[in-house]
Amino acid sequence: MAIITLTTDLGDKDIYQAALKGSILKLIPGVTIVDITHSVAAFNVQQAAFILKNSFHYFPDGTVHLIGIDTVYNEDTKYLAIRYRNHLFVGADNGIFSLMFDREPDEMVEINIMQDLKFLHFPLADIFVKAAVRLAEGRPLSEIGIAVNSVEKKMNLQPVVEKNLIKGSVIYIDAFQNVITNITKEFFNRVQHGRRFVLYFKRNETITHLSWHYNEVPEGEKLCLFGISDHLEIAINKGNASGLLGLGLGDSVIIDFQ
């Protein structure tokens, strides 16, 4: 059965999400539509990329992922369809693909489906839907666009190593207010070499132990662990880490290996 996932900044209180889903179902009534999220902050490409990068691989091969972030018509922005690791993606070439993918896509095209002028303000329900549906039906990328070999580049801030320190930053705060950094498990292990560490962050707070799960410390206590995204998280067991620890997007964290 064909699957189309949706990742957008449309929210839940307006008609836009209904218009998008209805447009899909008109063209392919039997498709399975899965909402990854519609709560991305408006036009926040980095946030959407983090969510989709860490969720798409849970879906079956051949799933089509429709990305509705910063898609309003702009004569300078291309709309792309991409095949990557046996998944298919439809979205605007606004930098999101460079943030999501860790290698070059297997195939990509610039979508050349004719724009319906009555949807000029909302191409998501027109061009994007038509492209996603054709891919979900098993049609080749070459049927909906012209081959291209590059995408718009956008870079996330990367952690750096200075002597015995990793200097990282906060890149995401989830619905539980857990604070997620740009330090991956692979990066941490490569630098650690089995050494003890002290994690420093705002207000002179420290953590000196990696936890396996959130309930490893008493309720209300802080902890750090590598979560489902394999990024280092700072959390409070059954608490609001971002608010209580004063940590926000872009704030610095330092790991001192000893």
The per-residue pLDDT for range 49-76, each reduced to its tens digit, is: 999 999 999 999 999 999 999 888 777 7
Instruction: Indicate yes or no: pTM above 0.75.
Output: yes
CATH number at residue 61: 3.40.50.10790
Residue 155 lies in a domain: no
Residue 130 lies in a domain: yes
254 φ, ψ (degrees, to nearest 5): -130, 135
Residue 180 lies in a domain: yes
Distance CA 44, CA 139 (A): 30
What is the tens place of the pLDDT at every residue in 129-141?
A: 999 999 999 999 9
Q: Is the pLDDT of residue 117 over 70?
A: no
Q: What is the pLDDT of residue 155?
A: 83
CA neighbor of 128 nearest in space, from 146, 140, 116? 116
10 with 132, same domain: the answer is yes
What average pLDDT does the structure give for the chain? 94
190 with 213, same domain: the answer is yes
57 with 121, same domain: the answer is yes
CATH number at residue 194: 2.40.30.90
205-210 long-range Cβ contacts below 8 angstroms, 24+ apart: 205/245, 207/234
207 with 128, same domain: the answer is no
Residue 188 lies in a domain: yes
Q: What is the pLDDT of residue 76?
A: 78
Q: Look up residue 176 and give its two tokens.
A: 């539980």
29 with 140, same domain: the answer is yes
Note the Cα 220 to chain centre separation in Å: 29
**Domain closes at, from 125, 147, 169:** 147
Residue 58 lies in a domain: yes
Q: Is the pLDDT of residue 16 over 80?
A: yes
**Domain closes at, from 117, 147, 177:** 147
Residue 154 lies in a domain: no
Q: What is the pLDDT of residue 71?
A: 86
140 with 217, same domain: the answer is no
- State mean pLDDT over 44-50: 95
176 with 141, same domain: the answer is no
Q: What is the pLDDT of residue 115?
A: 78
Q: Is the pLDDT of residue 114 over 90?
A: no
- Is residue 119 very low, low, confident or very high in pLDDT (cuts 50, 70, 90)? low
Judge whether 65 and 5 are in contact, CB under 8 Å.
yes
What is the tens place of the pLDDT at every residue in 163-206?
A: 899 999 999 999 999 999 999 999 999 999 989 999 999 988 99
48 with 112, same domain: the answer is yes
Q: Is the pLDDT of residue 212 over 90?
A: yes
- Tally of domains in the chain: 2
Q: Is the pLDDT of residue 118 over 70?
A: no
- Is residue 246 very low, low, confident or very high in pLDDT (cuts 50, 70, 90)? very high
Instruction: Give the three-state DSSP class for 136.
Output: helix
Judge whether 237 and 214 are in contact, CB under 8 Å.
yes
Instruction: Give the three-state DSSP class for 61.
Output: coil
Q: Which domain holds residue 202?
A: 160-257
**Domain closes at, from 99, 120, 147:** 147
Residue 24 lies in a domain: yes
123 with 227, same domain: the answer is no
Burial of 223 (0-12, 13-18, 19+ CB in 10 A): buried
Q: Which of 52-66, 112-126, 221-235 has the lowest mean pLDDT?
A: 112-126
136 with 168, same domain: the answer is no
Residue 153 lies in a domain: no
